[in-house]
Amino acid sequence: MAMTKRDVIKTLLAKQLPDRVGLNEHFWPHIIPNAWREQGMPEKTAFEQRFNLDIRSIAWFAAPGPRPDLATIVEESDAWIVRRDGWGAATKTWKHKAGTPEHVGFSMTTPEIWQRDFRDAFTAISVRNHVDVVAMKQRYTAAMAGDAFITYGSLFVFEELRKVMGDITMLESLLLEPEWIHDFCDLVTTKYMEYFELLFSEVGLPDGVHIYDDLGYTAAPFASPTCHRELIHPYHKRLFGMFKDYNLPIILHTCGDFRPHLDCIIESGVDCIQAMEAKTGMNVVTLAETLKDKLCFMGNIDIRVLETGNRDKIRQECLGKLNGMKALRAPYVYMSDHSIPPTVKLADYEYMLDLFWANCRY
């Protein structure tokens, strides 16, 4: 009898081998109206069902802004909008296509401003006021009745630092204001633990958690290994330790080159790393040669190759990594090295899936 999708992913996250490689994917927002609708995909397509994916996320969390009085629309056009949030952070985003938000301005730029204008208000937030438990329970019950592996997802401390301080203040403060960083991360971690405890106790346990904390850019991590170990790692260990108390496997998404942080990532309790962007120099087969007993791997199929539309190149990229992981007998979930953009043709993505299904058995 074939294993269910849930069983496949559970086995892989336990660093064991099921009957086949796992399958997951993320897609850029607006990919259907911007590209795939003209290529034949209906507007309201559910990707998990259409592409027979193994993993489904049913919850998302980011720390609520403590000052809703600051939230407003600053500027707007037909194409883009500038919003200020409850942290006083203003970002510019496209309305009808995906892209990295442009940092416009930030209010919380010193420890003094944090203490004066935000800290007490943030501490006072009740996460219960930001969760519709009844609706979440309905979604959970329906999802768990299926055979997909169900996750709760969220940001975490490094992404929260970037979100509320901006990259410049954050990076300077990691070196110059470590006490502020510790204070902020401590309170953020407490808020995340309150959120997950609420879900676990009143909604139900998922199959696993998927945490998003972008630790790097194309050339390197944002912080040195020493800085990461001192200022970020303790809070990963704290939250992830709570997940382990519930016997929940942990998938960590991080963009960029995070290889110098792998020791800390493993120590923190992470079971699977995702997305391993190919343009950073990471190769999943190379990583698995030394880490296959410690980690499951998800991703690393090079989007740039899929964008070419060249079937020979796509086949070489996909089968090189898929077959390489099978030869190592390494736990692997097949997907792109980040998420599928509208520059990838629907037919080429489906060809990538055809390659998977023809070659996915261990």
* CB of 253 closer than 8 Å to CB of 291: no
Q: What is the CATH number of the domain that holds 324?
A: 3.20.20.210
**Neighbour tally for 105: CB within 10 Å:** 13
DSSP-derived letter for residue 331 is -
Predicted confidence pLDDT, tens digits, the chain (362 residues):
689 999 999 999 999 999 999 999 999 999 999 999 999 999 999 999 999 999 999 999 999 999 999 999 999 999 999 999 999 999 999 999 888 899 999 999 999 999 999 999 999 999 999 999 999 999 999 999 999 999 999 999 999 999 999 999 999 999 999 999 999 999 999 999 999 999 999 999 999 999 999 999 999 999 999 999 999 999 999 999 999 999 999 999 999 999 999 999 999 999 999 999 999 999 999 999 999 999 999 999 999 999 999 999 999 999 999 999 999 999 999 999 989 999 999 999 999 999 999 999 99
Structural domain containing residue 31: 5-64+125-359
Residue 298 domain-assigned?
Answer: yes
Residue 333 domain-assigned?
Answer: yes
Residue 77 domain-assigned?
Answer: no
Cα–Cα distance, 296 to 13 (Å, whole number): 6
DSSP-derived letter for residue 342 is T
pTM over 0.75: yes
Cα–Cα distance, 131 to 64 (Å, whole number): 11
Residue 42 domain-assigned?
Answer: yes
Residue 93 domain-assigned?
Answer: no
Residue 96 domain-assigned?
Answer: no
Split into its structural domains, the chain has a count of: 1
Residue 111 domain-assigned?
Answer: no
Residue 101 domain-assigned?
Answer: no
Q: Which two tokens stand for residue 53?
A: 């994916």
